[in-house]
Chains A and B, each alone.
Chain A
Amino acid sequence: MIELRISGYGGQGVILCGMTIGRAAALFEDQYSSLSQSFGPEARGSACSAQVIIDKSQILYPYLTGSDILVAMSQEAFRKFSPELRPNGMLVYESELVKPEGLPPTVKAFGIPATRIAEEGLGRSLFLNVIMVGFISAVTGVVKQDNARKAVSQSVPEHTIEKNLKAFDLGYEYGKKHFA
């Protein structure tokens, strides 16, 4: 079983990021996945997270009991959720928005300037979340590249598929180039 938390602030596409990874596992790999969202009454700008559990068998307990993989797209999210990261877990973070501090040395950390890549490569910062999906697939292997790409196509509006797949590829390639 892998427990994964995607976190950031509302408006970054945190839930869609979790939805895409969960969909890749549940629909295109021989696995079960369960996504739950936690959100407050606030919308944009507040801390927001998606919890994804991936397992070979039916998922029973619906919430995370800790995280094997923590994806942090804001410093606030990192501060809030890094204590639940397991000592042998992985941190995936937006390297220009998050400064990881105080982590056990056994945690593997993978940073990507996803917002800048989105702006420079695609002209809009909102592709950050799908860049993260590509990067997560490359560095953690939690879902395979092909399956994650298929899930991206099913998770975004039809007229944006091409750009989102490009975003995915940018994230994936960055991961393979810097952390292979």
Chain B
Amino acid sequence: MKADPKGVMTGTHYLDGDHAACEGALAAGCRYVAGYPITPSTEVVERFAGRIPCVGGIFMQMEDEIASSIAIQGAVWAGAKAMTVTSGPGFSLMMEHIGLAIMTEVPCVFINVQRGGPSTGLPTLPAQSDMMQARWGSHGDYEVIALCPNSPQECFDLMITAFNMSERFRTPVMVMMDECVGHMTERVVIPKAEEIEIVPRKYTKKTPAEYKAYLPNDNLVPEMAEMGKGYNFHITGLTHDEKGYPAMNEESQKKLVSRLINKIQNYKKEIILIEKDGLDNADVAVLSYGITSRVAEKAIIDAKAKGIKVGKARLKTVWPFADEFILELSKKVKAIVVPELNAGQVVREVERAAKGNCEVISVPHLGGGVHRPEVILDAIVKGAQGGKR
């Protein structure tokens, strides 16, 4: 299905990442946003509130992030594509309802424009320190999808990917921006509506009598039912059976939770997006995501000028994690260098997936700015000199 032209502002623009993300959501068909504006994400909802009366849809400023994160789920059940937008402190408040969206399989999008934390931290300065929170912040076992753009253009592009994946997998998708990308203004090209591919909601064709709300298809994803068309079913955060009714026992728990995990894990190839360059014959690989990948690219250029064989792997999808890719990479290189704007979060996953095959070098930065390229360069040099191979 092609995008609805009403939401697509075709043309070449000069936009910051927040505004571009809003345009991406509109192009993807998002017609409902509930939010409690917070720096540095405010511009996303500000633009949405300004644009939506012309496009046709609703923006609701809520009393807090808890309300925002549940209001969007009501809108989804009523038929809308919906998202909410926040930063660290709000993301913390949304965790319970992210779990509900996972458990009840609500396709929706959460944007987190990351700033320094803990607590209110650094409202106007960047960090990437909510990466593990995106993966594990809500209680229970589950899988999530999280994407990380590194430019305003990619904020636009990945918002469309996020909405499409949310519908395809019936799960919340997190778009993990950061203050730097959110407040950086660059050229953004928005294509024509007919060039934008949209995944529509998959509604059941079964009759109300045949329909079971949580009976999965072959791809492990159940179909949704259109509200107001005579379908009666039950939605609960309790462990439930295929009809949606509580079924609180060991067997139901195993069946439901493993399906929630496997509907994502089994289709990782479809979800994991990695930008790779120069990894064949590389001694060192730099693995990064978001704004840090741009600084890393500068360090890679400088390292190549010193004659070091270094390649790049940029995770556009951070969750689910690219275990298989990292394992293969770890068998080829001496070291994997992992710069990130936190004390070392995703590097733990790299260490786990590399299984000791190569050296893994963490290059932490606690946020409030970005790495100096020299710091990453030093780690690349160290990796090229040392390493296990």
List residues of A whose CB falls within 8 A of some B CB. Answer: 19, 22-23, 26-27, 32-41, 59-63, 154
Contacts and interface: CB of A to CB of B under 8 A. Distances in A.
A62 B294 contact: yes
Interface stretch (B179-187, B250-258, B316-324): B179-187
Contact of B180 (A27, A62, A154): A62
A61 B298 contact: yes
A35 B185 contact: yes
B124 A34 contact: no
Interface in B29-54: none
Interface of B: 12-14, 16, 123-124, 180, 183-187, 291, 294-295, 297-298, 301, 369-370, 373
Nearest to A15: B185
Given A19-B14, A41-B124, A61 B295 contact: yes
B185 A60 contact: no
A32 B184 contact: no
B376 to A, nearest CB: 11
Contact of A36 (B183, B294, B298, B373): B183
A19 B294 contact: no
B124 A39 contact: yes
A154 B12 CA distance: 12
Contacts of A63: 369-370
Contacts of B13: 27
A154 B184 CA distance: 18
A35 B124 contact: no
A34 B183 CA distance: 10
Contacts of A23: 14
Contacts of A41: 123-124
A14 to B, nearest CB: 14
Contact of A33 (B124, B186, B291, B301): B186
22 contacts: A19-B185, A22-B185, A27-B13, A27-B14, A27-B187, A32-B186, A33-B186, A33-B187, A35-B184, A36-B183, A38-B124, A40-B124, A59-B186, A59-B294, A60-B294, A60-B297, A60-B298, A60-B373, A61-B370, A62-B291, A62-B295, A62-B370
Contacts of A27: 12-14, 187
A26 B187 contact: yes
Contacts of A61: 294-295, 298, 370, 373
Given A34-B185, A41-B124, A22 B14 contact: yes
A59 B301 CA distance: 13
Given A32-B186, A36-B180, A37-B183, A26 B291 contact: no
A83 B50 CA distance: 40
B299 to A, nearest CB: 9
A34 B298 contact: no
B286 to A, nearest CB: 13
Contacts of A33: 186-187
B14 A36 contact: no
Contacts of B184: 34-36, 62
Given A60-B298, A62-B294, 5 more contacts: A19-B185, A23-B14, A27-B14, A32-B187, A34-B184
Contacts of A34: 184-186
A150 to B, nearest CB: 12
A60 B298 CA distance: 6
Nearest to B185: A35
A158 to B, nearest CB: 15
Contacts of B295: 60-62
Which 10 A-B pairs rank lowest in CB-CB distance, beginning with the nearest? Answer: A35-B185, A23-B14, A60-B298, A26-B187, A60-B294, A60-B297, A36-B184, A34-B186, A61-B298, A26-B14
Nearest to B301: A60
A148 to B, nearest CB: 13
Most buried by A among B14, B123, B369: B14
A57 B12 CA distance: 18
A36 B263 CA distance: 40
Contacts of A37: 183
Nearest to A60: B298
Nearest to B152: A34
Most buried by B among A22, A33, A34: A34
A77 B304 CA distance: 38
A37 B180 CA distance: 9
A40 B298 CA distance: 28
A82 to B, nearest CB: 21
Nearest to A24: B14
A22 to B, nearest CB: 6
A36 B187 contact: no
A22 B123 CA distance: 25
A22 B16 CA distance: 12
A149 to B, nearest CB: 15
A41 to B, nearest CB: 7
Nearest to B293: A60
A36 B184 CA distance: 5
B120 to A, nearest CB: 11
A35 B291 CA distance: 14
A54 to B, nearest CB: 11
A5 B13 CA distance: 22
A26 B186 contact: yes
